[in-house]
Structure 1
């Protein structure tokens, strides 16, 4: 699951930046096939390699792994951060009930 996310996220960010796999590989100081081996599923970057990739895209690791949630979910998350544990458990039970009855 995470392997596929990493591959897809690198491809997404690389395309947004408008660079080829070949150029990105060289920019990171690797051979021309480095990014291709990651995005094809043949290999995964090491932890230091992933940190270098995050730096290449000028983002933190948490930003790299952040998913694009709809704005309403982000708003709900921000509000839930203000709740105590009992209230959070109540909200969780309500969400589980709604999903179950769907």
Structure 2
């Protein structure tokens, strides 16, 4: 994992969210060129800013660095709700998903 991965991953997530560099910069509370400076290699976000970026995309830092398995926006939304459930309800959802899953 290197600096280029971080730049590329931010760009990938930004494009998935269908937001411009300018809009994302402003929504994070920075100058209009903040995200462009990261994408172009002129800067990297601080740890605090990295955590804000993860929040912006509604992902955990672990999900940010997971470059082998990406989740769609709908999957991320479902995961957010599952995290709010108690253990009993989470088990019910997992059982239902297991029943619905049909490998191709």
Matched residue count: 69
Q: Which runs of 5+ in 2 are unaligned?
A: 70-104
Q: Deviations 1:33-79 (Å, cap 9, x if unpaired)?
A: 0000000000000000000000000000000000125xxxxxxxxxx
Q: Which has the larger radius of gyration?
A: 1
Correspondence list, 1:23-62, <5 A: 23-62=23-62
Correspondence list, 1:1-102, <5 A: 1-69=1-69
**TM-score after normalising by structure 1:** 0.66
Root-mean-square deviation (CA, aligned residues, Å) is: 0.9
Match of 2:62, SS state, is: helix
Q: Which runs of 5+ in 1 are unaligned?
A: 70-102
Q: How many angstroms apart in 1 are the aligned matches of 2:6 and 2:15?
A: 14
What is aligned with 2:73? none
Greater than 2 Å deviation, 4+ residue runs: none
